[in-house]
Structure 1
């Protein structure tokens, strides 16, 4: 047989929200005899729900986690063949503990501390330097949320450079049909208001003569193939 005292032993009853004495004092301060009277006097009847919510009794965090574990154990985990840029990856334990699980990296507060900002800038610079070394490109970007955004930023940068050099000519940007579809969609959205003609096709047969200011290819491509782009680049 459960008693009121048993219910009070739960963490929520003991630590979350006001107790009965505090609730009575607050109601007396605002001149209300009950919560129902307070609601009636402050919330218009036209927007108040006139029936009880169909909700079960609240449970503790521990009981909730146990219930979720039982439900999760009923799932059957099969081999996943998802691709198109969504791949499993190996995260070293030291990275997970010191970066991904470090509140200093994901806190909602803006990192005004100079030391944190300096560290992030240094990490981004090291990453960009590594990408340049691996790819042999002149520049590399960083600190973008997804591949589609990075591709769109690269396209707009090339477009601005082409406009300055060619006086507005060269308004076509080539995209390999082997790029991820979500990346092509972002490029299409970004290209339209800027007046950029987006050409999607086969990089091995496309004619780059006449007004193409840049190109985007996927490596590995959307089918997982590792293509040799040496001839394409040269």
Structure 2
């Protein structure tokens, strides 16, 4: 029976390929070591040769203790839903056949390249509905939150503008976080954001 050596440092069990896999890949690439491969592939201008100032690896037990200590510093606060949230009722037939239907979603998150086909179908339906309602030849897909959607609308308006207008007006009735996202997005684009009363605002050539 082969003796099982203790492995207190567990990063090698979870990060990166095994030594056998590394050797097999090096043989295919005809390199004797990973260092030789790096020397031949990484450009000298970005090659960092100094050793990284990293602490010694922790054992699994020590890591879990460190993790528990860090998590214990979290503060749990009550969240008050609002500022963009609208209470709605979803009919049971839609809830059962769409929202709770596994055919409309997968284990993948929407951020991954393997985007769920059910989500793609929902976005296509949304775009088609917007085109039908507005009569536009094309419509963008919905974004995940109001602030991001507003900021992208500002950027789209800037790109579609044929003049030299560089000011974007936002109603003061918009939610504060929406205005903040617009301002944050406007800064690198060089757009001047003006917040005010939309009922008395006068549109000029620079807006």
| TM category, shorter | 0.5 to 0.7
1:157 aligns with 2:156: yes
Alignment correspondent of 2:89: 90
Q: TM-score, normalised by structure 2?
A: 0.55
User: Do the aligned partners of residues 191 and 99 (structure 1) sit closer, same or farther apart at CA in structure 2, a change above 3 Å counting?
Assistant: same
C-alpha deviation, 1:191, in angstroms: 0.3
Alignment correspondent of 1:12: none
Q: What is the CA–CA distance in structure 2 between the aligned matches of 1:182 and 1:142, rounded to whole Å?
A: 21
Q: What is the CA–CA distance in structure 2 between the aligned matches of 1:101 and 1:171, rounded to whole Å?
A: 45
Q: What is the CA–CA distance in structure 2 between the aligned matches of 1:41 and 1:176, rounded to whole Å?
A: 55
Query: Which secondary structure does the structure 1 equivalent of 2:156 belong to?
Result: helix
Q: TM-score, normalised by structure 1?
A: 0.49
Query: Which secondary structure does the structure 2 equivalent of 1:128 belong to?
Result: helix
Alignment correspondent of 1:39: 8
The residue correspondences of 1:26-105 to structure 2 (distance < 5 A) are: 28-32=2-6, 38-39=7-8, 47=58, 82-104=81-103, 105=105
Work out whether residues 142 and 149 of structure 2, in 8 Å CA contact, stay in contact via their aligned partners in 1: no
Query: Which secondary structure does the structure 1 equivalent of 2:8 belong to?
Result: helix
Query: Which secondary structure does the structure 2 equivalent of 1:173 belong to?
Result: strand
C-alpha deviation, 1:194, in angstroms: 0.3
Runs of 4+ in 1 over 4 A off after TM superposition: 40-50, 109-113, 119-122
Which residue of the other structure, out of 170, 173, 181, is the alignment partner of 2:168?
173
C-alpha deviation, 1:177, in angstroms: 0.5
Alignment correspondent of 1:58: none
C-alpha deviation, 1:153, in angstroms: 1.2
Flag the structure with larger Rg.
1
Alignment correspondent of 1:108: 108
